[in-house]
Amino acid sequence: MRLRLTPRDNTFFDLFAASAQHLVTGANLLSEMLGADRAGRKEINKRIGEAEHRADEATHSIMRRLNQTFITPFDRDDIYMLASSLDDCMDFMEEASDLIVLYKLEVLPARVADQVQVLQRAAELTAEAMPRLRSMSDLAEYWVEINRLENQADKAHRKLLAQLFDEISDPILLMKLKEVVEKLEDAADAFEKVANTVETIALKES
């Protein structure tokens, strides 16, 4: 770790940790939605929207702090990238939830649960990793595991698309389901972007 001769604002670490906790909430609610009926899904979608709003507030707090702080704990561009990537994770999960409700989808393919399980695990790992930014310790296992999970998500995504094209004859339903599946894949990619940003920060700070 480089020796620092100037004070730095450590509030960012708490803000990143809070932001990541909202992702855990969002991913768990998304999992809950899969087993719910249409009325239950509308209620859960509302709760996901509330979680997304809180995540947005956390992102705005980071950005305001960034604009007000002269000495930051690490590179300003990396802080911006990390905050934006965390926000993207939540946005994509909320979009998938919204589409399930707006399209009034009744039955989702079983493999959608595989995608959501990956998002749940990625959210948990991300929430565990954010507090460790303070010391930059024990982070390598995090980004390696997130990369493995994203590869797993890619495979689930490809299998699910193949299944949809094989089994869904209604082109409108196919389009709706495909859009949900793509948003879940976007969320997995966003979690990998968070991990890649953490790796970049850790390497710069080592």
In a domain, 2, yes or no: no
Angle of CA points 169, 38, 93, to nearest 5°: 80
Please, are residues 181 and 161 in contact by the beta-carbon 8 Å criterion? yes
- The answer to whether residue 3 scores a pLDDT higher than 70 is no
How many domains would you assign to the chain?
A: 1
pLDDT band, very low/low/confident/very high, at 73 (cuts 50, 70, 90): confident
**Amino acid at site 136:** M
Residue from 8, 24, 9, 17 nearest 58 by CA = 17
Span 75-102, pLDDT tens digits: 889 999 999 999 999 999 999 999 999 9
- The answer to whether residue 9 scores a pLDDT higher than 60 is no
Q: Mean pLDDT across the stretch 20-33?
A: 96
Q: What's the pLDDT at 51? A: 95
Instruction: Report the C-alpha dihedral over residues 36, 48, 117, 129, rounded to 10 degrees.
Output: -160
The mean pLDDT of the chain is: 91
First to last CA, the chain: 5
Q: Name the residue range of residue 152's domain.
A: 11-205
Structure tokens at 122: 């990625």
Q: Mean pLDDT across the stretch 171-191?
A: 96
CATH code of the domain covering residue 86: 1.20.58.220
- The answer to whether residue 164 scores a pLDDT higher than 60 is yes
Span 120-143, pLDDT tens digits: 999 999 999 999 998 888 899 999
What is the share, in percent, of the chain residues with pLDDT greater than 90? 79
Neighbours of 118 (CB within 10 A): 26
Q: How far apart are CA 34 and CA 22, in angstroms?
A: 19
